[in-house]
Amino acid sequence: MPELSYREAVRDALSRAMRDDEDVFIMGEDIAEMGGSMGVTQGMLDEFGPERVRNSPISEMALAGAAIGAAMQGMRPVAEIMYEDFLTLATEQIVNQAAKHRYMSGGQLSVPVTFRTQGGAGWSPGAQHAQQLEAWFVHIPGLKVVFASTPSDVRGLLWSSIYDDNPVIFFEHRTLYGIKEDVPDELEPIPLGEARVHRPGEDVTVIATGRLVHESLAAAEEAEQEGVSVEVVDPRTLQPLDEDALVSSVKKTNRCVVAHEAVTRMGFGAEVAAVIQYGAFDWLDAPIERVGAKFAPLPFAPVMEEFVVPHSRDVLDAIYRTVGRSNGSDGN
């Protein structure tokens, strides 16, 4: 069972799909010789050549449109949008074209395109290179949205995304690229729409995405030292959402914390809280807690960035609030 980093797991999924299927190709800005802004596609040009590892113009709208057109002609393109923030430049193509063609054609057309993109705080990139915009795309009927947090998950989910006949927005977090995990040599596809319980618990459920999965696991370790048993659940796929798994966990623990790096206001966690409210209201022993970034553009200064985005201590505070216990670290 080899150890793979998150970055290597993404590359492995892409490479295996391209070896198995000539209809799969990748395209994006500087993904060929340079290997992309985060080095994910390094070495792939040498193996697959410039026809299947295509540098695109510096135009996200053109890149998205070309990928959508190729998908509608029977290919399975994977288009890398260099920064998640730059999805804003391709939104018309993704939201008004990719998401709607299958429905508007009565199923006669499919658009099997995957838009890989990365973002997130943790390295002072400033306000225009680190937004977390997953809630925007979950709101659009016709799109599937994935946000993997571990090497094994990112590999299995990316494979499934490539072979889904619908457009998929595939989010990655830049600070996770270096984390490593033992991953089976045989690639196991992970169905879209299945949550993962990273840690079982009895007292509180924490539903977290992306980087906050790891922050929540750290908070759960600390809470355990104080006698609080925390279950950490990662939806993995934001659309479709595994509502049954989330509700079942909260019915077991009777308390819920929702955590993500995106700003709290109108974030994905609001939808999760609504799902829990509808599905497990009679089981709740405390109000649902939400953890997210403060409502501000991401500051460039490291100390300010640290202040704006959530960390394990914020998750821990929320856990303690749900069980009616103060956290000595902040005097609450």
Which residues face 55 on adjacent strands? Answer: 28
Please report which helix (H) or strand (E) contains residue 199, including its range. strand 196-199
d(CA 142, CA 94): 10
| DSSP-assigned letters across all residues of 236-278 | -EEES--HHHHHHHHHHHS-EEEEEEEESTT-HHHHHHHHHHH
What is the residue whose two structure tokens read 């599905």? 279
CATH code 3.40.50.920 for 196-322: yes
pLDDT tens per residue across all 332 residues of the chain: 789 999 999 999 999 999 999 999 999 999 999 999 999 999 999 999 999 999 999 999 999 999 999 999 999 999 999 999 999 999 999 999 999 999 999 999 999 999 999 999 988 888 999 999 999 999 999 999 999 999 999 999 999 999 999 999 999 999 999 999 999 999 999 999 999 999 999 999 999 999 999 999 999 999 999 999 999 999 999 999 999 999 999 999 999 999 999 999 999 999 999 999 999 999 999 999 999 999 999 999 999 999 999 999 999 999 999 999 765 444 33
Catalytic residue among 101, 129, 198, 214: 129
Q: How many CB atoms sit inside 10 A of residue 38's CB?
A: 16
Q: What is the pLDDT of residues 281-292, one digit of tens each?
A: 999 999 999 999
Distance of CA 222 to the CA centre of its chain: 25
Look up the pTM and report it. 0.95
What letter represents residue 306's amino acid? E
Catalytic residue among 60, 84, 289, 305: 60
Domain boundaries, the chain: 3-182, 196-322
Q: Does the fold of domain 196-322 match that of domain 3-182?
A: yes
Q: Is 182 left (phi over 0), alpha (psi -120 to 50) or beta?
A: beta
Q: What is the DSSP letter of 299?
A: P
d(CA 178, CA 172): 12
Catalytic residue check, 260 = no
d(CA 154, CA 165): 19
Structure tokens at 146: 């994935």
User: In this structure, are residues 213 and 198 in contact, taking their beta carbons and an 8 Å threshold?
Assistant: yes
- The CATH class for the domain spanning 3-182 reads alpha beta
